Chains A and B, each alone.
Chain A
Amino acid sequence: MLFLKSLFFLLVSFTSAVMASENRQHSSHEHGVGQLDVAQESSEFQIALTSPAVNIFGFEHAPHDQEDHKMVEKKLAELEKGEVLFVFPEGANCRLKDVHVATSWADHENTKTESTEHKQAEREHRAEHEHKEHDEDEHEDHEEDEQTHADVTASWHFACAHPQTVDRIHVKLFERFPQTEHLRVQWTTQNKQGAVELSSTHSVLRF
């Protein structure tokens, strides 16, 4: 989680106009294409997605009206359903342990664990609160929108009872987020590493 927090702050610094003059390095940002990292260590699977916001929400400006916010909430909620987005082989008995979703708009950061279902409610409450804030500084937001791209980062943590039977993961992100055309996947398991490009027609990651 610490990693995502640091990554999140990093992304914030990347998009911030103030920082731009100090740091001239830019990570690539290609609409329609997301980066998926899959790592396995014994029974644990960690899947992380970095994607331009447009692939997820259909727009990249910070949400400023009611409709935008609704869309963002809806899509973020869909991102959190890791067991729907990633289908492990049946016999492996994999369960989603926790999820972390964040956008580089700074005000959407969600963490959900098994034990903290109440966070869902908290998040909704916070979204309302954010909305109010937005009305106040909408002008600032607009200025930033025009110059910067936005990214979404998400990570899912699965634990499997029989990890040795996991020889593939069916990635369903393309069905849920049709604006995502390709995913560049890097993966590392106990003794193998590899890369593959997935799309809606080739959506099964094989190790």
Chain B
Amino acid sequence: MGAIITVPILRLAWKSLLNRWVTVGLTLFSIALSVMLLMGVERLRVEARESFANTLSGTDLIAGARTGGVQLLLYSVFRLGHATNNISWESYLDIAAQKSVAWTVPISLGDSHRGYRVLGTTAEYFKHYRYAVNEHLAFDQGQSFSDLYDAVLGAEVAKKLGYELGEAIIIAHGASDVSFARHDDKPFKVVGVLKRTGTPVDRTVHVSLEAIEAIHIDWQNGAPLPGLSTSAEQARSKDLTPKAITAVLMGLKSKILTFKMQRFINDYKEEPLTAILPGVALSELWSVIGIAENALLIISAFVVIVGLFGMLTVLLASLNERRREMAILRSVGARPGHIFGLIMGETAALTLGGISLGLGLLYGLLFIARPMIEAHYGIHVPIGGLTHYELLLLGIVMLAGFVVGALPAYRAYRLSLADGLSMRI
């Protein structure tokens, strides 16, 4: 008997929904927006973490001048912020000579090229720098530097600025690209372009440490000394051993030695230094950011609750108007239980529809915003399927929709019991 009645009731319910399309549509949309916000916040949180975690791997320690661990990590790996102090070359050599050290990559930051950071380093960088799960840097074109004025570009630098191998580029002093602070007497030649990595490496111009030294001959306090000019060729014959570097990435012969080496650097008497385990500093960063993340997630959860309450309001408000409809349904054979099921079904459909529409909006938005997020923040947001946690969140939203729907459904049930076929308004 159930099936015979259910089909016409469902058809009637659908027609009833269509009849109320404005309020139903708005309710659906508000649920969709709240779901999109919730999922969007969750997605960004996870992807930002993933992206940060994938930026550097295989490096046991990073050493820099005495500073906070998080700060050292941010400026040495993510090119965010800058160093307050440098490490002297002597200290670097001393650290690199320690028995437990397998390899070191010194890095020197400070200059820029059209908004992209310039990183002074050695050829070791291309050999030892690893990202994601032990991925090595690879050359898309060309090779590592061989001449003093050679530069290797990250994938994005080459693509955005349209550089090709052999092209000459001018490096600017400091982070701002103003005409009087350019090293325009010593142009660099592009000799290599790296493959895309999805890390800040893509947005970096790599040159040798000696080149950084060479372009700063005759410079003092951020400006060229007047009257002095050492040409690019003359600079080659000078002593280009760096005096200081910004930080050093290092790998150790055994992980067991990590903390011994960390303590050696932290307790280094000649110069106040800090050594960090990049993964540890990242954990510390997340423990700070986690508070803000949770706040965002809680706010978006509340937005979902508000959306569901909106649905409750609409359903309850419409019940009185729909008493006639209920009476008609009863007249064609619907029992009060059917009426209850009908309203429950309606809320379930609205919630499910809202979730689907919300996900659709989210993926649409991600698709549009992805290139912008990647260009501005270097965070690569892959458009993948739903994770377990996201499915769980959506399940909770669905369940909350059911709970919210039970109230008007029960009320409709009571009303239809009281009204029966007749209706007293």
Q: A residues engaging B (CB < 8 A)? A: 3, 7, 10, 23, 25, 27, 37, 39-41, 44, 46, 48, 186-196
Q: List the one stretch of B6-14, B31-39, B254-262 in contact with chain A.
A: B254-262
Taking CB atoms, residues of chain A closer than 8 Å to B134 are 191
Contact between chains at A25 and B272 (CB < 8 Å):
yes
Contact between chains at B280 and A194 (CB < 8 Å):
yes
Q: Assess A194 versus B255: contact at CB under 8 Å? Given A10-B267, A23-B269, A25-B272.
A: no
Taking CB atoms, residues of chain B closer than 8 Å to A186 are 259, 277, 280
Q: Assess A192 versus B279: contact at CB under 8 Å? Given A23-B269, A40-B255.
A: yes
Taking CB atoms, residues of chain B closer than 8 Å to A196 are 283
Taking CB atoms, residues of chain B closer than 8 Å to A188 are 60, 255, 258, 277, 279-280
Taking CB atoms, residues of chain A closer than 8 Å to B60 are 188
Interface set, chain B 14-71, CB cutoff 8 A to A: 57-58, 60
Taking CB atoms, residues of chain A closer than 8 Å to B263 are 3, 7
Q: B284 an interface residue at 8 Å Cβ cutoff?
A: yes
Interface string of B121-156 (1 = CB under 8 A from A): 000000000000110000000000000000000000
Taking CB atoms, residues of chain A closer than 8 Å to B254 are 41
Interface set, chain B 280-331, CB cutoff 8 A to A: 280-284, 287
18 CB < 8 A contacts A-B: A7-B263, A23-B269, A25-B272, A27-B266, A27-B267, A39-B255, A41-B255, A186-B259, A187-B280, A188-B255, A188-B258, A191-B57, A193-B278, A193-B280, A193-B282, A194-B279, A195-B287, A196-B283
Contact between chains at A37 and B284 (CB < 8 Å):
no
Q: Assess A44 versus B256: contact at CB under 8 Å? Given A23-B269, A25-B272.
A: yes
Taking CB atoms, residues of chain A closer than 8 Å to B257 are 3, 39
* Besides the known contacts A190-B255, A193-B283, 6 further A-B residue pairs in the complex with CB atoms under 8 A apart: A3-B263, A40-B256, A186-B277, A188-B279, A195-B279, A196-B283
- Return the contact of A193 from the options B133, B256, B269, B279 (Cβ within 8 A): B279
Give me the 6 closest cross-chain CB pairs, A-B, nearest first: A193-B279, A195-B283, A37-B259, A3-B260, A195-B280, A41-B255
Taking CB atoms, residues of chain A closer than 8 Å to B287 are 195
Cβ of A89 to closest chain B Cβ, rounded Å: 19
Contact between chains at B280 and A39 (CB < 8 Å):
no
Interface size on B, residues (CB 8 A): 26
A187 to B258, CA, bound (A): 10
A140 to B58, CA, bound (A): 49
A192 to B258, CA, bound (A): 13
**Which of chain B's residues has its CB closest to A45's CB?**
B256
Q: Which of B257, B267, B272 has the most CB of A within 10 A?
A: B267
**Which of chain A's residues has its CB closest to B263's CB?**
A7
A25 to B263, CA, bound (A): 13
Cβ of A199 to closest chain B Cβ, rounded Å: 14
Contact between chains at B260 and A195 (CB < 8 Å):
no
Q: Which of B254, B255, B257, B260 has the most CB of A within 10 A?
A: B255
A3 to B254, CA, bound (A): 14
A195 to B258, CA, bound (A): 14
**Which of chain A's residues has its CB closest to B280's CB?**
A195
- Return the contact of A41 from the options B133, B256, B267, B282 (Cβ within 8 A): B256
Taking CB atoms, residues of chain A closer than 8 Å to B256 are 39-41, 44, 46
Cβ of B95 to closest chain A Cβ, rounded Å: 15
**Which of chain A's residues has its CB closest to B284's CB?**
A195
Interface string of B233-267 (1 = CB under 8 A from A): 00000000000000000000011111110010011
Taking CB atoms, residues of chain A closer than 8 Å to B267 are 10, 25, 27
Taking CB atoms, residues of chain A closer than 8 Å to B278 are 193
Contact between chains at B284 and A39 (CB < 8 Å):
no
A25 to B274, CA, bound (A): 13
A63 to B266, CA, bound (A): 30
Cβ of A195 to closest chain B Cβ, rounded Å: 4
- Return the contact of A194 from the options B57, B133, B272, B283 (Cβ within 8 A): B283
Cβ of A2 to closest chain B Cβ, rounded Å: 9
Taking CB atoms, residues of chain B closer than 8 Å to A190 are 255
- Return the contact of B255 from the options A7, A23, A189, A195 (Cβ within 8 A): A189
A7 to B57, CA, bound (A): 28
Taking CB atoms, residues of chain A closer than 8 Å to B255 are 39-41, 188-190
Taking CB atoms, residues of chain B closer than 8 Å to A192 are 279
Cβ of B170 to closest chain A Cβ, rounded Å: 39
Q: Which of A27, A188, A190 has the most CB of B within 10 A?
A: A188
A186 to B260, CA, bound (A): 13
Taking CB atoms, residues of chain B closer than 8 Å to A41 are 254-256
Cβ of A194 to closest chain B Cβ, rounded Å: 5
**Which of chain A's residues has its CB closest to B58's CB?**
A191
Cβ of A20 to closest chain B Cβ, rounded Å: 14
A7 to B11, CA, bound (A): 80
A41 to B252, CA, bound (A): 11
